[in-house]
């Protein structure tokens, strides 16, 4: 069972945490669940992650999992912008 969604609300979207730094943002109006994980915890939360994904898929929600990267964001963004402007 996923954690209680009524624990925390931010900007009108339900947000749940599961005892990790993992963040699950639920957008009921769009039937979407977005799961955010740090790069370092990806291996340790697989069981919990699987349960959350299954529960929302059973409700016909689109579930997306985002993993943090391990490289410098500002330098990569600068390179991407430079490449797209040229």
Query: In this structure, what token pair is assigned to residue 25?
Result: 């943002």
Q: Specify whether the CB–CB gap between 64 and 52 falls below 8 A.
A: no
Segments forming the whole domain that contains residue 27: 5-85
Overall domain count for the chain: 1
Summarised one tens digit per residue, pLDDT across range 1-57 is 344 444 444 555 555 555 556 788 899 999 999 988 887 777 788 888 898 899 999
Residue 85: how many other CB atoms lie within 10 Å: 6
pTM for the model:
0.64
Summarised one tens digit per residue, pLDDT across range 25-34 is 899 999 999 9
Model pLDDT, residue 62: 97
Distance, CA of 72 to CA of 24 (rounded, Å):
24
Q: Specify whether the CB–CB gap between 66 and 41 falls below 8 A.
A: no
């Amino acid at each position: 069972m996923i954690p209680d969604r009524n624990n925390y609300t931010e900007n009108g979207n339900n947000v749940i945490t599961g005892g990790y730094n993992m963040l699950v943002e639920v957008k009921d109006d769009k039937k979407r669940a977005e799961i955010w994980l740090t790069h370092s915890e990806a291996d340790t939360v697989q069981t919990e992650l699987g349960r959350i994904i299954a529960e929302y898929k059973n409700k016909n929600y689109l579930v997306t999992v985002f993993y943090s990267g391990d490289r410098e964001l500002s330098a990569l963004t600068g390179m991407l912008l430079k490449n797209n402007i040229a």
